[in-house]
Chain A
């Protein structure tokens, strides 16, 4: 396994494509219904401090918070904030995929993987529409990369796993289970050393804001309301 350094060319290419795509998105708004009617108004509500409007049981808090910050700090409208934040996640995902392909194969394959990611219409269109899928994709790529390099036992790989947990647990509810399973794979490859338990503790901390909101909405301390019916079925209450 030879870690591939990110050549400046790859970074420049991704930044250039993201900038060009954002320009296109500004001229030809592509927003999906979900963004227009949910995420964008929720981001604006978060920025204005109206938290009861900003959070909703159907959606994890991460997208609202990140897009809300883009509304609050640079002063974008909700739609632009969703598009910019999702495109940023898309661009970061491209770079992580590049590294991942470099670790598994070689730098030549990594460049082609980066190219494929950039030219595939779906992920970029999701980003330009301000959807949350690029965040989930970024989380999965980061976590798989962290699982693969866990034996390097360096601080960077642990930080990568921690970042992946945030993206997986706070952006899409259906990614929480994926994070759990990837956490088990990480633990097995790590041999249940201290870093595994530290990552578990970090995951538990990251889930708490969503648990608190779900408790407020439903009376159950669960990481997503989607699990409530299942909980009621299995445990009762």
Chain B
């Protein structure tokens, strides 16, 4: 199935998605990686709110290259970063802030898959390294928060227009394409070992 969705995405629409579906996104996307996860959760512990409301929105594991032209930020390149670095913080982030979609590369571990099932979210995979192509789907930079963490670690507020193609790699029903590939890979190890004269 192919879907075009606009953020904020309703839970019922998220729940309709299955692994291998192709999604294109419109609307606001927030970037957030290591430091955003650390600080947003720290703030939440102290009863404070992060500068943006992630509810129903798409969180993009991305540290873009931005260029300041006059007073405005211009997006140069914006591919995904390795999502697994956020494995230990993502389940809590999803529980606290309730984003509908996480965009990244490489997939995430079981606790995040479980949180996505429980709270209704999906993981959308985008091709790593294809940063100019990805930037084509972003039409405007609305602003930036937490710039003091550095350009890659800030929250960038991006306007997406037909951003994709994204593959639903983890759905809200506990299915993960990466887990499927993992079990296939396990089955192939013996053959590789034979070719290396290890078995």
Partners in one complex: no
Q: What residues make up the interface of B, taking CB atoms closer than 8 Å to A?
A: none
Q: What residues make up the interface of A, taking CB atoms closer than 8 Å to B?
A: none
